[in-house]
Amino acid sequence: MTTAELTSSLEPGSTIRRWRLPFSPWHLVLVPLTFVLIVPLLWMVVTSLQTQGEANRFPPVLVPHDPRIANYADAWHTAPFGTFFLNSTVVALVVVVSNLVVCSLAGYAFARVRFLGSKALFLVLMATLMVPFQVTMIPVFLIVKWFGDNVSTYLGIDHLGALMLPNLATAFGIFFLRQFFQTVPVELEEAARVDGTSRLGVLFKIVLPLSMPAMSTLAALTILTSWNDFLWPLIVITNADQMTVPLGLSYFQGAHQTNWPLLMAGNVMSLVPMLVVFVVAQRYFVQSVAGTGLKG
């Protein structure tokens, strides 16, 4: 570029091209945070490909010399992982469906139906969120045991019903959906009631279709909580045929030694279903969020 061209480009009114990032500079903060979050996952995958000697070596081996893919097959056959996966899937599906149905009914009742003592009952329900599970696990254990002794053995101790029964509905799910239902325009419900639609019809035909983002979020949180639950299954399940995945991973932990490669391989396999659920459901979740607005 000649001196004249450079001078003319700097004259007032001339357009100066500036190099800009294709994203906000604040996004650069996410790079180290993402690294911190990914390192444990990468370490788990690396350990699942190591030998027992490499897993116990110090300083740690960052790259396995001879990656052992067979660790996954060994982990699958060492413990009955097929049974664990089936049990976790059954429990998670039943709990998710029950929470969506019961919490939507209760949440809509608290949001729209006025009855004697509704506010006091809602406050009591919210107060239960402040009680740690460690405080209630013994009473819940006794209640589940009573159901097993007096109602059905399949709801009692050492059965999958014991994992489902205390989680069929949650106070958080009721609160979460109740808060979202209050944001739905009440005029839509009143118009449906004028047309002769029942209260349940309004809920299932008007409110729930507009509440898909909240329903999807509650379903995702519930299935993650149910799939990763360890303490409650540890209390009520002793039979290997009724164990879920988190409890079944204890097969690789002994009193004096832990088989870290097989344990990490089992953890990776237990993580895969949650990743598949997220990838499959992500598109529908985004669509539900984008289609929430009201069209005139």
pLDDT in tens, 18-74: 566 676 777 777 778 888 888 888 889 998 898 888 888 888 778 888 888 898 998
Angle between helices 171-181 and 118-127 (to 10 degrees): 130
- State the pLDDT confidence band at 174, using cuts at 50, 70 and 90: very high
pLDDT at 57: 80
User: At residue 274, does pLDDT exceed 90?
Assistant: no
Q: What is the distance between the alpha carbons of residues 133 and 231, in angstroms, rounded to a whole number? A: 10
Cα–Cα distance between 227 and 244 in angstroms, integer?
8
Q: What percent of the chain has pLDDT over 90?
A: 32
> What residue ranges define each of the domains in the chain, with the CATH number in brackets?
85-247 (1.10.3720.10)
Residue 296 has pLDDT above 50, yes or no: no
Nearest Cα residue to 273 out of 86, 100, 98: 86
| Buried residues in 90-128 as b, exposed as e (16+ CB within 10 A) | ebbebbbebbbeebbbbbbbbbbeeeeeeeeebeebeee
For the segment 148-172, the average pLDDT, to the nearest whole number, is: 92
What's the whole-number mean pLDDT along residues 241-265?
84
- Cβ distance 163 to 96 under 8 Å? no
